[in-house]
């Protein structure tokens, strides 16, 4: 077994996975998973730049992760940055800061690589438990990746919609107004129109959702008193239950969301937009599948995502 680490620095959060990986089989055993909300993408959609305070939050977390990797005897680290960093004109400041903080070169990956790693991370654990083709949806803070495939991706698309981007762009009231919701939904639907030209959504047999937004919507649908990844991972829900939970979170006030026992404090202000994006994706896939005479089955939630894919690749097997 090789002890490696993957770091996923996204628009909303930065996450660390330290794992023991068997290079021969690809088996991955968690040693430690950590997540911090640093909101690196604060204002990037509007300004095109990473804010100084957001950069500092990300670098402070990176230094903590570097120390933890040393303590745990990590042999190799892969550090990946996604939507917010690739959109920022001052990304070089981020890259230089991370290199100094942790001693490895961070990779600012494009949407295609983000999609590939998300698919690998999710399907490496799901295996053959669900029929394919699978549409794996990784809903982040700045972008949402759609990846279709069974054993490997056959089509993918990265949409510039996510929970932070849609919150900053549209959902300013508490709770969001009808007009704000309509504008955000129109934005997501336009992105899905473009995505459907690249990814045949109608071929989906199993819809798999990844990311903190999706797992939080699932926790709400299950009525969990606290966040429990062991319960959430692998959950299979009817489409109607997913849509009802997402709609409820979207229309709640900030205080009502904060009072939910499973809600991470750093997700309270953006979960409404995330829930809207997830609901629009589910509705669109359901519609496109119905258009070819089939019915979309239950929706699967996975706690395993791009972070698992990054960590496997740190061991040279993804």
Q: What is the pLDDT of residues 182-201, one digit of tens each?
A: 999 999 999 999 999 999 99
Check whether residue 104 and residue 189 sit in a common domain. Answer: no
Number of structural domains, the chain?
A: 2
Distance CA 304, CA 118 (A): 8
In the structure, what pLDDT confidence band is assigned to residue 84 with cuts at 50, 70 and 90? confident
What confidence category does residue 244 fall into, taking pLDDT thresholds of 50, 70 and 90?
very high
Is 189 a member of any domain? Answer: yes
Query: Is 119 domain-assigned?
Result: no
Same domain, 105 and 138: no
Count Cβ neighbours within 10 Å for each residue of 53-91 and write b for 16 or more, e otherwise. ebbebbbebbebbbeebeeeebebbbbbbbbbbbbbebb
Pair (100, 141) in one structural domain: no
Per-residue pLDDT averaged across 214-221, rounded? 98
In a domain, 247, yes or no: yes
**Hunting for tokens 């930065």 — which residue is that?**
14
Kindly state whether residues 100 and 135 are assigned to the same domain. Answer: no
In this structure, are residues 34 and 68 in contact, taking their beta carbons and an 8 Å threshold?
yes
Number of other CB atoms surrounding residue 131 within 10 Å = 10
Instruction: Determine the average pLDDT of the residues in 46-69.
Output: 97
26 located within any domain: yes
**Rounded Cα gap, residues 275 and 114, in angstroms:** 21
Query: For position 317, what pLDDT does the model report?
Result: 83
Decide if 252 is inside a domain: yes
Beta bridge partners of 273: none
171 part of a folded domain: yes
DSSP for residue 267: G
Give residue 38's pLDDT band: very low, low, confident or very high (50, 70, 90).
very high
Which of 4-13, 21-30, 71-80 has the least mean pLDDT?
21-30
Task: Residue 160: give the domain boundaries.
Answer: 127-301
In a domain, 287, yes or no: yes
Q: What is the pLDDT of residue 318?
A: 67
Same domain, 296 and 240: yes
| CA distances from residue 204 to 144, 154, 185 in whole angstroms, order as listed | 17, 12, 22
**Residues 102, 158 within the same domain:** no
pTM of the model: 0.92
Helix ranges, the chain (H): 44-47, 52-71, 83-87, 91-102, 111-126, 163-169, 178-196, 212-222, 229-232, 239-251, 254-258, 271-291, 306-314
Residue 91 sits at the vertex; the CA angle it makes with 120 and 56, to the nearest 5 degrees, is 95
Residues 253 and 221 in one domain: yes
DSSP 13: E
How many Å apart are CA 2 and CA 25, to the nearest integer?
Answer: 12
The whole-number pLDDT of residue 111 equals 85
Structure confidence at residue 264 (pLDDT): 95
Q: Do 160 and 275 sit in the same domain of this protein?
A: yes
Residues 99, 164, single domain; the answer is no
């Amino acid at each position: 077994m090789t002890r490696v680490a993957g770091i996923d620095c996204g628009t909303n959060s930065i996450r660390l996975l330290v794992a023991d990986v068997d290079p021969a089989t690809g088996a991955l055993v968690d040693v430690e998973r950590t997540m911090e909300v640093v909101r690196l993408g604060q204002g990037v959609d509007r300004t095109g730049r990473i804010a100084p305070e957001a950069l500092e939050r990300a670098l402070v977390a990176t230094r903590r992760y570097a120390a933890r990797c040393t303590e745990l005897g990590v042999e190799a680290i892969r550090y990946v940055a996604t939507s917010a960093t690739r959109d920022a004109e001052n990304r070089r400041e981020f890259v230089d800061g991370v290199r100094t903080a942790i001693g490895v070169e961070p990779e600012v990956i494009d949407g295609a690589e983000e999609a590939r790693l998300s698919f690998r991370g999710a399907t490496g654990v799901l295996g053959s438990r669900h029929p394919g083709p699978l549409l794996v949806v990784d809903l982040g803070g700045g972008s949402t990746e759609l990846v279709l495939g069974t054993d490997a991706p056959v089509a993918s698309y990265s949409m510039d919609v996510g929970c932070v981007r849609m919150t900053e762009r549209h959902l300013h009231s508490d709770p969001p107004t009808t007009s704000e919701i309509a504008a955000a939904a129109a934005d997501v639907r336009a992105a899905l129109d473009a995505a459907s030209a690249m990814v045949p959504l109608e071929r989906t047999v199993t819809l798999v959702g990844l990311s903190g937004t999706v797992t939080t919507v699932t926790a709400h649908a299950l009525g969990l008193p606290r966040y429990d990844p062991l319960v959430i991972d692998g959950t299979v829900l009817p489409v109607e239950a997913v849509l009802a939970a997402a709609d409820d979170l979207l229309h709640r006030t900030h205080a009502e969301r904060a009072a939910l026992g499973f809600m991470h404090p750093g997700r309270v202000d953006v979960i409404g937009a995330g829930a809207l994006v997830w609901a629009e994706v589910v509705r669109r896939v359901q519609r496109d599948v119905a258009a070819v005479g089939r019915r979309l089955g239950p929706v699967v939630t996975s706690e395993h995502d791009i972070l698992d894919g990054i960590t496997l690749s740190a061991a040279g097997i993804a």
